[in-house]
Structure 1
Amino acid sequence: MSRAAEAAMAASYKALKEDFVSNLTGGEIGEINYVTAVAPAAVVLWSVLQSRQSFFKPYTPLAFAVDFLLNVAAILLATTLYAKSPILLNTSLLALGALVYVLPKQTPPKKAKLPPSKQTKDAEPNPLPKKQFLTTYRGSMMVITSIAILAVDFKIFPRRFAKVENWGTSLMDVGVGSFVFSAGVVAARPILKEKLAGKSTSLSTRLYRSIRHSLPLLVLGLIRLYSVKGLDYAEHVTEYGVHWNFFFTLGFLPPFLALFQSAFEYVPSYAGLAILLGIAYQAALEFTSLKAFILTAPRTNLLSQNREGIFSFFGYLAVFLAGQSTGMVVIPRTQRKNLLLTLAAWSGVWILLFAFSTSYKYGLSLSVSRRLANLPYFLWIAAFNSTQILAFCLVETLFFPALHNKSTPSSPKEEEEVYKASTSRVLEAFNRNGLFVFLAANLLTGAVNLTVPTLHVSDLVAMGILIGHAVVVTGLAVGLDIYDISIKL
């Protein structure tokens, strides 16, 4: 880079810093928490209806309608009509839950006791069982993501919820990071299976498997690139760059993680690896010209054209590793009290680290940037998602003790029945085929934008379209689940 170009870049970056007013305020973080709290509040009402009244068993059309209203429509309302008063919506859901809770509990019909078979006696409990609270967490995250990618194109969706250009954080900024964190949580399962089996996979085998897993995502990234450029679809270059998109970020994660798994021999903690990577990347941003390059450099070649996607990848990799660390804790069968204490401790650690990184008086005085995916952004995503998982775990613990009570029979068949009876069918469906449903929601979003002038329609029309979008996406997810179809990408 010539000296003139460097000087221009430095001047541009200096002006950017002088004009900077951080969007990261307590009110902003609080608002995000209030809006996203609608998911746990809705799950509380769902859990009360099921645990006290067995409302969703059998799963009738009415049960599906209520399931949809609580776990999908409530989230849509929180991000649109109730965007200015999410506390009112959350309070209403919790008040309804309290009302249902005080009603007389419906007594389920007694089942005839059959002598346990030898197979049941000898059956070993699954060491990596399906967890209701994990399904609920991932399903809720997929719901809000599928809704927001279309809602953001309408005026009824507040601009403060859309992705921030440079500094600060928003609802959609949290959504992108949460998608990566959630993927990291489930990525812990195959590693745990290897440990239980006492096997060790070579680096070459891990790389081969990771590349094979990445190919469909990279193909989706190319398809999105072609469709966006070919159809002249509206895009923000500063989000990921000229050619890069979120599917490329997801696609390149597995091979890098295969390499980082080797580093686990030297740093025996995925959380530790995540923190070290986050610190190293932040040091590069602060003590080199990398930050100025990402924010202000002219787009003259392939690297500079896609600098946001390429360099933010390191921040997302740290987010993924943090999610993997959480997965190593929450996926195995463990005593519930210990799990809650561990989750609470890690939530506290991430929150304290985030507060230290952003504090102007006692910390590093850094500002969150989703565009950079810097250290505060990584810590904010880890803190937010750990706390969300803790909240859903608490709800499950309170209302469905049979899922973790040692006195409960634990044969695989009985455990599966208890899990299904305690889990929202809608959230289970979104979790089961999450990436495919996300892709379908993206395609539907593109179709709506090509046929509807989204910025010029009334709020009433916007809500009608958004509800229709939510119904179609939910219907697709539940339909696949009904027919027992799993589409892995």
Structure 2
Amino acid sequence: MGSRAAADLVPGPNPNTSFIPYPFRINRTLEEVIAEHVPVYEWSWTETVFQSWETMLLIMATFWCIFMARLVTHKLGLYSSPNRCYGVEFALIILPCILLVTVAVDYSYYVGVLMLLVTLWFLLNSNFMERARSRQKFDLGNRPIALSVLRSVTHLLTAICILAVDFESFYRPYRKSRQFGAKLMDVGIGLFVFTMGSVSRRTRHFSDLQRSVVYSALPLILLGLARTVAILVVGYGQDEHEYGQHLNAFFTLGFTKLLGALVSILARRDLHLLPLGFGLLLLHQFGLSVLGISDYVMDDEVSRSNLFNANREGLVSLPGFVALYLLSIYVNRWMVAISQLSYSEMVKKLRRLFFIALILWNLFGLSAYGIGISRVTCNFGYVMWMMAIGASTLLTSFGAIDFVINSVMPWVPNESEVDEQERGLLTDETEAKGRIKPIVPFTISQALNQNGLTFFLVANLLTGGVNIFLKPEDRSGLESVVILLVYMFLATKLVHELLKRGIRLA
């Protein structure tokens, strides 16, 4: 069991006062300090590691399904048929994800074994090493498909879980941790911040800051405000222990983007983001562990009598999320520093990414034992966990897609298709009979990347509708799967249609 550092040497916050973590009196004695009641929050580090293992198993299963969909759609030659491509991907990606968080969760380990065996069979029979060596270059592009896949997995799992959690069939150990833990639903906000940083750049000029605030941070903050107002008007319940009474995930993402853009001005080079992010994270952890801010956030006896106290979870966690954002930008800039690699350079990059992931997982393990993993405060352990998952999934994506699959079953677009993919222009109204140009691989991933915020808003609206009108807590396992399938079909098909028409909303 791990416990809070120096818990027995300092008093907890007074719930009857405004926030002053540790108001020492000059004449206070050590005996008085020890005599005061101090809440001690404990966690089992072995349980935390097991929770993380279960979480990674599901995340890797989702990635495996996406890779399998890529192989099947290529083998069947479906890229010229967007609707059939979407149908195959829906069946191979979304259906298994829904089953593995609900009625089929007991078969997760069997699925894991099956994934391993099929992967080994493919690797042994594809002659991928010789084909990879024969390639003249590995063209990762300015925005590697591996990053797009990671963003889409984050959107998909989050959307499924925010509704599935309301059904009795949902696997209870996947629910968010109240204080410390590394469960599946603890991943959502952290990976959103990681992927947000992975497509961002550090602020170099005032114009960059203005663009980040106006086009990224402000819309998220306004959406957070709209959600808060809607919840108050409708009377829809919100767990105040996640972000506070009034804040929500949109506020966290918006403020993280805003503060991250401001702090990144201090970095003169991309390399400076690394010490800047770690320095901010260590200061944040110092406040949580030594100054007792962690106790202040988690103590239910602290009244929510003022705005700060009422929203302490969301506000106190911001420095941690900003640090995660800065570190994510650095990882992205390192990944795309050279977009065209030789075979030896590609192998070297994958090897370095492997060692980075290994170091991060070791830091996660040490944190799980020493200070715990807390999404609520976004502590050092939580940030290391998110970075470890991010590095591991990027390693998997780059290795599976760019090194293996693209060597065995290459997809070689022409330059105009690449340009249209970046702009979302996958149709040409001037062509006869409205003929649709070929959809690139990973159709659903591309759709979610182009209109991710639209997808997430629609998913939230549908979730509210299901909770109000369908009473998910009373549904059987089969009914929950059917409802989740319809829900995910409506949300993903909408953004897929927008992708086909070249429409980018948000």
* TM-score for the superposition, normalised by structure 1: 0.82
Deviations 1:276-321 (A, max 9, x none): 1111100011111312221222211111111100011111111212
Within 5 Å, which residues of 2 pair with 1:446-457? 446-457=464-475
Of 27, 43, 59, the residue aligned with 2:66 is 43
Letter paired with 2:356: W
User: How far is the alpha carbon of 1:413 from its aligned partner?
Assistant: 3.3
Point out the more displaced range, 130-139 or 304-313. 130-139
User: How far is the alpha carbon of 1:434 from its aligned partner?
Assistant: 0.9
8 Å CA contact 1:44, 1:395 repeated in 2: yes
Distance (whole Å) between structure 2 residues aligned to residue 85 and residue 224 of structure 1 = 37
Distance (whole Å) between structure 2 residues aligned to residue 3 and residue 301 of structure 1 = 11
Letter paired with 2:488: A
8 Å CA contact 2:160, 2:488 repeated in 1: yes
* TM-score for the superposition, normalised by structure 2: 0.80
Distance (whole Å) between structure 2 residues aligned to residue 238 and residue 23 of structure 1 = 24
8 Å CA contact 1:41, 1:94 repeated in 2: no
Distance (whole Å) between structure 1 residues aligned to residue 283 and residue 42 of structure 2 = 27
User: How far is the alpha carbon of 1:134 from its aligned partner?
Assistant: 1.9
Matched, 1:466 2:504: no
Partner of 1:351 in structure 2? 361
Partner of 1:401 in structure 2? 407
Distance (whole Å) between structure 2 residues aligned to residue 267 and residue 60 of structure 1 = 39
Matched, 1:315 2:320: yes
8 Å CA contact 2:15, 2:303 repeated in 1: no
8 Å CA contact 2:194, 2:386 repeated in 1: yes
Point out the more displaced range, 144-153 or 82-91. 82-91
Distance (whole Å) between structure 2 residues aligned to residue 168 and residue 301 of structure 1 = 28
Partner of 1:56 in structure 2? 78
Letter paired with 2:224: G
Matched, 1:79 2:101: yes
8 Å CA contact 1:281, 1:314 repeated in 2: yes
Go from structure 1 to structure 2 and tell me whether the alpha carbon gap of 1:216 and 1:13 turns closer, same or farther (over 3 Å shift): farther
Partner of 1:26 in structure 2? 49
Aligned residues: 449
Unaligned runs of 5+ in 2: 1-12, 24-32, 128-137, 423-437
User: How far is the alpha carbon of 1:410 from its aligned partner?
Assistant: 8.8
Of 209, 231, 235, the residue aligned with 1:232 is 235
Distance (whole Å) between structure 2 residues aligned to residue 254 and residue 40 of structure 1 = 27
Go from structure 1 to structure 2 and tell me whether the alpha carbon gap of 1:418 and 1:339 turns closer, same or farther (over 3 Å shift): farther
Within 5 Å, which residues of 2 pair with 1:20-419? 24-51=47-74, 53-59=75-81, 61-92=83-114, 128-188=141-201, 191=202, 201-202=204-205, 204-213=206-215, 214-265=217-268, 268-296=271-299, 297-332=302-337, 333-335=339-341, 336-359=346-369, 365-396=370-401, 397-401=403-407, 412-413=415-416
Letter paired with 2:98: L
Letter paired with 1:253: T
Unaligned runs of 5+ in 1: 106-124, 192-199, 360-364
Q: Counterpart of 2:142 in 1: which secondary structure? A: coil
Go from structure 1 to structure 2 and tell me whether the alpha carbon gap of 1:266 and 1:288 turns closer, same or farther (over 3 Å shift): farther
8 Å CA contact 1:181, 1:323 repeated in 2: yes
Point out the more displaced range, 61-70 or 147-156. 61-70
Letter paired with 2:368: T
User: How far is the alpha carbon of 1:19 from its aligned partner?
Assistant: 6.3
Q: Counterpart of 2:303 in 1: which secondary structure? A: coil
Distance (whole Å) between structure 2 residues aligned to residue 11 and residue 478 of structure 1 = 60
8 Å CA contact 2:21, 2:292 repeated in 1: no
Go from structure 1 to structure 2 and tell me whether the alpha carbon gap of 1:7 and 1:260 turns closer, same or farther (over 3 Å shift): closer
Distance (whole Å) between structure 1 residues aligned to residue 178 and residue 294 of structure 2 = 14
Go from structure 1 to structure 2 and tell me whether the alpha carbon gap of 1:264 and 1:14 turns closer, same or farther (over 3 Å shift): farther
User: How far is the alpha carbon of 1:369 from its aligned partner?
Assistant: 0.8
Distance (whole Å) between structure 1 residues aligned to residue 417 and residue 243 of structure 2 = 47
Letter paired with 2:210: Y
Identity rate, percent:
24
Go from structure 1 to structure 2 and tell me whether the alpha carbon gap of 1:294 and 1:101 turns closer, same or farther (over 3 Å shift): closer
Partner of 2:132 in structure 1? none
User: How far is the alpha carbon of 1:44 from its aligned partner?
Assistant: 3.0
User: How far is the alpha carbon of 1:231 from its aligned partner?
Assistant: 1.2
8 Å CA contact 1:42, 1:93 repeated in 2: no
User: How far is the alpha carbon of 1:157 from its aligned partner?
Assistant: 1.0
8 Å CA contact 2:126, 2:408 repeated in 1: no
